[in-house]
Chains A and B, each alone.
Chain A
Amino acid sequence: MGLERDFLTGSMFRSMIFAAANRLNQEKEDIDFLNVYPVPDGDTGTNMALTLLAAAQEVEKSTSTSVGELAQAAAKGSLMGARGNSGVILSQLLRGFAQVMQGKHTATVHDLSRALQEASAMAYKAVMRPVEGTMLTVARVAAEAGKQAARRETNVVAWFEAVLRAASKALAETKQMLPALAEAGVVDAGGQGVLTIFMGAYSSMEQHEAPVLLLAAAEDIPRTNTRALAVSEIRPMESIRFRYCTELVVRGEVSLDELRKTLQPLGDSLLVVGDEETAKIHVHTNHPGRVLEICCGYGEMFAIDIDNMAEQNRRINSAELPIDRGNGHMHSGSVIMTNADIDEAQKKMGVVAVSLGEGWKSIFQGLGVDVVLNGGQTMNPSTEELVEAIEQVPAKEVIVLPNNKNVLFAAEQAAKMAKKDVVVIPTPGLAQGVAAATAYDDKLELGEVVERMKSASQGVVSGEVTYSVRSTTTDGVHINERDFIGLEQGRVVVAGNELISTTKELIRRLLAKRKAELVSLFYGKDVIKTAARDLLQQLRAEFPEPEWELYEGGQPLYYYLVAVE
């Protein structure tokens, strides 16, 4: 049975702070692990634990029996010991609490309720850009529940139970409120910290364990196993009141409040976030059509995703699908729309590059090229393929890097045929193409980007090492069948029957005429990595002046491609 306690005494408060600090200290690593927002740096639990420890130590120093004075001590200790953002917010919660308690020897549920509200208000004020779905939300919801409970309860223990229950529920909901949390399938770390403090404090109020109800609520909260969470969060079929999880982005003249109000009656789990121009909407409803109709009135819709949650549950329950998201229900495509999704739908410009081999493909993709077309010397892409590639780029302005003289004409044809603003930068080879792609910067205007990319590609001198299929004399160089040949800017300058010496001779020629800062070697699919590394070392020793870089290009036919800049 609960104890008849209508007042919180100083000694109760003292034990609450100690118990909370102990509990937080025990669970700090679990909380660190949850840390994904705003930066996954994993120290929220530790920072909060150390901050509360500083508060508890200050309380320990005091001999007072007054709640007001002890709350003051806790506030002071936390203020001096605050670590990290979460610690600062915690110190403000304690500061707000202490302000209301000032001068009070004991506290009633009404005092506590006001103190909790002031704590929450103080914490919100301290944060320049308060974000919902964080520890602020948990504190605020707890304070609101405290206010409600103070109307019907006089017993501080019973009152605190109500606060704890609300905080626990609010924490579970943080998972839906921030995309980063949803993606990781975790609750907010700071919010978990606040709940842990409440639970620790509560455990000291009752001599025995917390009631079953509270423990059950606590178990709903994910700790370290997001996979287990995903399973436990799946609700039984009959409990699904609203069947369709509906998500979309609206761009236009959006009033978030108005949207929220209009959509509210249509379902639950409503989430409307964004700004005046963009709103992200998430709602569980039985009328997805009506949701879309309403949203349509506010602007253009993107990334519409409607999932039947009952169907998902059936499939999950019969283990047909792997469970990989801790989001309560699964979404077929992207789980939660991120800004990247919104950007994707309306990029300003993009790039198509023609390349050879997997290595080059990855290199170009890494530089931000949207579509990489396989082609080059022996398999030039057709105009039609190029047009298709241009159309695939999710942008109105497209830059094309043919990266081969023989592709240039088709690229120019494709540019005329495509229904977009297309600019072809006449890169004669991959070495020039990669320099141009490096200079690509989508925050500039098209004209300026093109100028920069052109100028970057013109600053490159290229070398190529391949072999000859017949005896001949080209560009004044005599070549035997099966000789290795080295080309400078497309003209044969050396030939020999040994790969390494021919490559070195080519590079000597490339470096003799100019002051090089950077030489990049891209080895082809017929060269093994260790051989390429050996060659690089020899070249570095012979030419210590420029910087050397070696990459796997994976191109056929060409043993080495060289870019001198």
Chain B
Amino acid sequence: MAGIQIVTDSTADMPKAVAEAYDIKVVPLSVSFGDERYQDGVDLTPEEYYRRLRREPILPRTSQPAPGQFAEVYQEAIANGRQVLSVHISSKLSGTYQAASLAAEMVDKENIKVVDTLSVSMGIGLVALAAAGHDTLSEAQKAAETAKEQLGLFFLVDTLEYMEKNGRIGRAASLVGSLLQIKPVLTFVDGTVDVVEKVRGTRRARRRMLEIFKERVGDTRIDFAVMHADAKEEGMDLLAEVQDLVAYDKSFLGDVGPTMGSHSGPGTLGLVWRPALGSE
């Protein structure tokens, strides 16, 4: 088999069909409810996960893949004569990148490159997609780095509670103590959560998110993904609104999977974009 093998992890929230179409291998993180342990996206679907999250009192825990899991995937690709580009969740939020880097170093440092996207969810996914379809490792790596630089990501959460409990709340921490319900427009800066703007009211937050998004995108043609955590209807509405608002090539609607979902909580809506490939 020719071409570069792109590998990512399940926090990329990449729809299965998309991963298959682009020949992207997804290494699962694990999610545990007490002693029950699941592989994100393998034996735990987002639907099941959110049903349990709402019903059960235990806060699920997530765990990065073991370096060995990455090593197996890398070994297989190398054995098939392929080089590997492995694209992962922000190293500031998870040890996944570290585990992948260790595995790369153990298997074949020269022919396996690992990218820290400093992003989450389909932010990782869009970087992986940009890297797919290249003939040489250095081209794929360059495409990934470019996509990483151009990536835009906004998200809204129903409550800051989940991010706070998991300690991955970044600059939004200052809003937790507020008596008023603040619905911040959130983003990632340097791999950690940051606040774009503080807003009150769910609808106003969503409107502001789209306004700021439009300001940033302007007339650039983009590829984008709308992500939702157990909020399909809202996700579909947002997708339609974004499609009306900007020029785009590809658009995706996806689930925020169990790993990311346990950190942002049900009801999260995300919007991820980068300039459409070849459109600059």
Contact = CB atoms under 8 A, between A and B. Distances in A.
Given A82-B99, A517-B204, A518-B200, A363 B179 contact: yes
A551 B98 contact: no
Interface residues of A, number: 41
A138 interface: no
B99 A367 contact: no
Contacts of B112: none
B232 interface: no
Contacts of B201: 517-518, 547, 549, 565
A235 B14 CA distance: 57
Interface stretch (A37-45, A245-253, A330-338): A37-45
Contacts of A39: 166-168
B166 A41 contact: yes
A91 interface: yes
Contacts of B98: 85, 88, 126-128
B53 interface: no
B181 interface: yes
A126 B203 contact: no
B89 to A, nearest CB: 14
A87 interface: yes
A434 B167 contact: no
Contact of A128 (B63, B91, B166, B202): B91
Contacts of A441: 195, 197-198
A111 B268 CA distance: 54
A91 B66 contact: yes
B68 A367 contact: no
B67 interface: yes
B200 A82 contact: no
Contact of B71 (A43, A79, A81): A79
B179 A517 contact: no
Nearest to A77: B68
B39 interface: no
Contacts of B69: 80
Residue among B30, B67, B166, B202 having the largest count of chain A Cβ atoms under 10 Å: B67
A359 B199 CA distance: 20
B247 interface: no
Contacts, number: 99
Contact of A79 (B68, B174, B203): B68
A551 B179 contact: yes
Contact of B200 (A80, A81, A85, A549): A549
Contacts of A520: 200
A366 interface: yes
A83 B179 CA distance: 37
Interface string A60-99: 0000000000000000100111111101100110000000
Contacts of A91: 66-67
B170 interface: no
B68 A41 contact: no
B180 interface: yes
Nearest to B30: A83
A120 interface: no
B182 interface: yes
B: interface residue count bin: 35 or more
A154 interface: no
A403 interface: no
Contact of A565 (B91, B95, B179, B204): B204
B25 interface: no
B178 interface: yes
A486 to B, nearest CB: 23
Contact of B178 (A38, A80, A366): A366
B217 interface: no
Interface string A100-138: 000000000000000000000000001110000000000
Given A39-B168, A84-B63, A126-B102, A367 B204 contact: no
A362 interface: yes
B234 to A, nearest CB: 14
Interface in A534-565: 547, 549, 551, 565
A340 B199 CA distance: 25
Contacts of A278: none
A84 B64 contact: yes
A548 B110 CA distance: 59
Contacts of A435: 200
B72 to A, nearest CB: 8
Contacts of A126: 98, 102
B245 to A, nearest CB: 18
B181 A549 contact: yes
Given A76-B68, A84-B64, 19 more contacts: A40-B167, A79-B67, A80-B69, A83-B30, A83-B64, A85-B64, A88-B64, A91-B67, A363-B179, A366-B179, A367-B178, A434-B180, A441-B197, A518-B204, A547-B203, A549-B180, A549-B201, A551-B179, A565-B201
Interface of A: 38-41, 43, 47, 76, 79-85, 87-88, 91-92, 126-128, 359, 362-363, 366-368, 434-435, 438-441, 443, 517-518, 520, 547, 549, 551, 565
Q: Which 7 pairs across A and B sit closest by C-beta, in order of nearness?
A: A39-B167, A80-B68, A518-B201, A366-B178, A82-B66, A79-B68, A85-B95
Interface of B: 30, 61, 63-64, 66-69, 71, 91, 95, 98-99, 102, 166-168, 171, 174, 177-182, 195, 197-204, 207
16 contacts: A39-B168, A43-B63, A79-B66, A79-B68, A82-B99, A83-B63, A88-B64, A88-B95, A88-B102, A363-B178, A366-B179, A368-B174, A438-B180, A438-B182, A438-B199, A549-B180
